[in-house]
Amino acid sequence: MSKRRTSPLPHRDGIAPSFLQLPAGQWPDLLTFLITRFPHMPAEILRGRLERGEIVDHQGEVLNVASGFQPNGRIWYYREVPEETPVPFAEHIIYQDERLLVADKPHFLACIPAGRYLQETLLTRLRKSLGIADIAPIHRLDRETAGIMLFSLDPACRAGYHALFSERDVAKEYEAIAPYRADLELPRVHRSFMQEQQGMFTMEEAEGEPNSETYIELIEVRGAWARYRLKPHTGKKHQLRTHLSALGVPILNDPWYPELLPEKGDDFSRPLQLLARAIEFIDPFTGESRRFESPRELSWPE
């Protein structure tokens, strides 16, 4: 499943249509294939979508319950999710020109539509508020992380900005609130081999050649807590959360490290105290040195 600009369907309410590439082979009809392909989805829901004409082929022709299965064809539709709880925090636009948009993302807002998040994502909010369908993220932040995110506004320039990240030509600066350890020598560069925990979506450190690196320094101390500046050189999944947890100073309100806690659900009262404070790079199109900072402040524990 993916999204392409060659879709026969337009964006709808800030959401790009999705497509499904049909495999080779034979099926009695399209509905039978869909029921087999999506066993977790009740058959009546799939039938209903076809009856309402909500699925089309690559030419934009509406499909129905009697439509045949077209091997190697492609069908298009708008993804649906159960009713979403509104995220009660606002995003802010820091900068915008004809190529680039810089937004300040709040905690709990997903970057892009995925899983159970569709409308309550930063990308969808920006597309709806600005009326620009071609907005696309240049990089990602975890849903629970707040701070600076870059978006491309011109598809022709997207690859140039993506290259900054793939070639590590972007300086990223984060801040976090976590326990204070007087015996932890700082500043320091923490390197480790990180891998996904077996059968989990979280990461862990293990024996092996380091594949992750973070510069860590102390900004201030308030009793048993401290504010840290983090500068990742690599961009592994959950890198900052994993590194601080491994050092015995897990980030305040982290529901995944050092141990996986029950799902928060719609509880927005304890945001992860991790902020993408700033991002800095040389613009590949203007040659200008650019630095963008989030004005957000992290919250110390009571």
Alpha carbons 230 and 214: distance in angstroms, whole number: 7
What value does the mean pLDDT take over residues 141-155? 96
For residue 116, the model assigns a pLDDT of 84
Give 192-219 pLDDT, tens digit per residue: 999 999 888 899 999 999 999 999 999 9
68, 69, 71, 72: CA torsion to nearest 10: 110
Give 244-278 pLDDT, tens digit per residue: 999 999 999 999 999 988 887 788 999 999 999 99
Backbone angles phi, psi at 255, to 5 degrees: -85, -5
CA of 227: how far to CAs of 85, 200, 301, in Å? 31, 29, 11
For residue 4, the model assigns a pLDDT of 45
For residue 3, the model assigns a pLDDT of 45
